[in-house]
Amino acid sequence: MGVFESAQGMFDKGASVVKGAVSGVAVENQAFMRGFIRLCSDGWLQGWHERNGGNVTYRMTNAEVDAARPFFYDNPSSWVAMGVQAGNLSGAFFVTTGAGRYLRNVELDPSYNVGIVEINRTGDAWRLVWGLRDGGRPTSEFASHFMNHSVRVEATGGACRVLYHAHPESVIALTKVMPLDARTITRALWKAMTECVILFPAGVGVTGTMVPGGIDLARATSELMKTYEAVIWANHGLFCSGSDFDSAFGLMHAIQKAALIHGQALMMNGGSAEFANTISDDDLRAIARTYNLAVNEAFLD
């Protein structure tokens, strides 16, 4: 989308002036937004985003906010209370996918399907400052994202910037046939292929079946995200964090692939998990030592 099309979209929303539309790099063409768009497109191509399924948020750097600010609406939306509060995110800016909007369309029209929201100084409300034209709102799971950004900022010393939720089918299938227990599911994923313990040495968290977009799911996930980089939502999907778009997408991709391998191996083995060849706990420990990983010993025998 070009600068003038973006400008027209802003006027459609009711902004009286598009600041900076004749100078600088349009938001759609800035590096952080290109990365965001690519993540959405890659997830769609993997088949993880049927209809309007899935959502993404990205916590912007100060430099990125400064570069995008000339294109912000002169008249942002009113503040919208979230029902949750996080002081460590006060004044932050997030890129977010839109509620009811399709990730497959993000690349075609970023300023319609994606928005930038500002968090207020008390860390309990947002307002739209760019994008999500024609009355759009942040993803219905924005409260989950916001709470978990707060947790992951603390857990990573501010390194985590991306949260990504998708519906990878093999991960969902695992939750239908395995105990909803983090240790049990993590061990199956670790033992699917040798790289998994390297990619998520803490394991993965698991919730029960909960209402999508609900505050209970947000709170349950945020507790697990104190320990894990990824949480499986039973009968729903997967929620991953990362320092950048590649790491968040890569974690999602690896967990989905491991779940697929485990499921295929079960089918090839008549439903039994007693495989002729497997990755032992001693193998997992050897991998952890080689790569200097703080593997979750509670998940090893």
Residue 215: predicted pLDDT: 86
Would you say residue 247 lies in a domain?
yes
Please check the confidence at residue 186 and state whether its pLDDT lies above 70: yes
* Residue 53 belongs to a domain: yes
The CATH number covering residue 279 comes to 3.40.225.10
Q: Is residue 62 located within the same domain as residue 107?
A: yes
User: Among all chains, which residue has been given the structure tokens 């070009």?
Assistant: 2
Kindly state whether residues 295 and 183 are assigned to the same domain: yes
* pLDDT at res. 143: 86
- Taking residues 257-285, what's their average pLDDT? 96
Q: What range defines the domain where residue 209 resides? A: 165-299
Calculate mean pLDDT across residues 155-163.
98
85 and 190 share a domain? no
Q: How many domains does the chain have?
A: 2
Residue 147 lies in a domain: no
pLDDT tens string 29-47: 999 999 999 999 999 999 9
Q: Which of 141, 223, 229, 274 is catalytic?
A: 141
The predicted pLDDT at position 2 comes to 45
For residue 76, the 8-state DSSP code is P
Determine the pLDDT at residue 150.
98
Report yes or no on 152 lying in a domain.
no
Going by pLDDT thresholds of 50, 70 and 90, the confidence category of residue 105 is: very high
Residue 35, in any domain of the structure: yes
pLDDT of residue 300: 97
Measured CA to CA in angstroms, residue 136 lies from 3, 96, 212 at distances of 20, 11, 19
Mean pLDDT of 115-135: 97
Same domain for 172 and 121:
no
Residue 24 has a pLDDT of 75
> In angstroms, rounded to a whole number, what is the distance separating the alpha carbons of residues 278 and 71?
54
Q: What is the mean pLDDT of residues 230-248?
A: 98
- Residue 141 annotated as catalytic: yes
